[in-house]
Amino acid sequence: MKNTLETLFQSFETGIRSSKAIKPKDYLKNIGLDYAELRIGFNSGQFHHRESQESKDEFEALGMLKKSDAGVRKEDLTAYTAFGRYGLIFPLLDKENTIVNYFAVRFNLETPKEEYLNNEGIYPAYPSANTKRLYLAPTVIDCASLLQSKALENRDAVMAMHNGELLTQHMEALKSLYELEEIIIIKN
């Protein structure tokens, strides 16, 4: 089976539901997000363990693994660093609603680290063409909070900026909203 960001995210969604995922669940509770209501996964950093070299190469091509010079137990093994290791993972989608990017919050570090796998996609998704009011949130976490708040009305949508910036895909999405009446920019 070919590894994709879509199939990998399904394993992260299973990971957040694991009884062992106590710290990620506690962190989500502390920031007021619920993985049962939003698409949030947990990357323990072990998705490539016990995988074939072909699978590891696929993960490397996706940007999920980078070769590392860390020590390994067996001489014939390659060490890797996993993107978003021990972090919460949020999926970013393209126009076809396919996962093309991840936003990770590595919460278990001294200072939590937020990172994107690449510059593609929109969180939570491209807004519906009949959107009348669009909220632009500065971060994925702000966007997820607004989504979960249930404050959005019928023809409202929300889009997370990429580290506070509008990228090409955001501008394309905005241009496709022919019924748009209002844009509300949320500031940090």
Give the mean model confidence (pLDDT) for residues 50-65. 86
Give the mean model confidence (pLDDT) for residues 163-177. 94
Q: Of 177 and 58, which is predicted with more confidence?
A: 177
Domain at 5-116: CATH architecture? Alpha-Beta Complex (3.90)
H helical segments located in 18-158: 22-31, 53-62, 140-149
User: What's the pLDDT band for 72 if we cut at 50, 70, 90?
Assistant: low
Q: Of 159 and 54, which is predicted with more confidence?
A: 159
Q: Is the pLDDT of residue 2 over 60?
A: no
Q: Is the pLDDT of residue 79 over 80?
A: no
SS3 state of residue 10:
helix
Say how far apart CA 88 and CA 178 lie, in whole Å.
34
Q: How far is residue 119 from each of residues 63, 81, 162, 165, measured CA to CA in Å?
A: 12, 20, 8, 11
**Spatial contact of 45 and 59, defined as CB atoms under 8 Å apart:** no
Domain boundaries, the chain: 5-116, 133-185
The overall average pLDDT reported for the chain is: 91
**Spatial contact of 140 and 177, defined as CB atoms under 8 Å apart:** no
Q: Are strands 87-93 and 133-137 parallel, antiparallel or unpaired?
A: unpaired
Least confident of 32-36, 70-74, 121-125: 70-74
**Spatial contact of 56 and 72, defined as CB atoms under 8 Å apart:** no
Which H or E run contains 171?
helix 168-175
**The pLDDT value given to residue 1:** 39
Least confident of 4-8, 75-79, 143-147, 158-162: 75-79
**Spatial contact of 131 and 157, defined as CB atoms under 8 Å apart:** yes
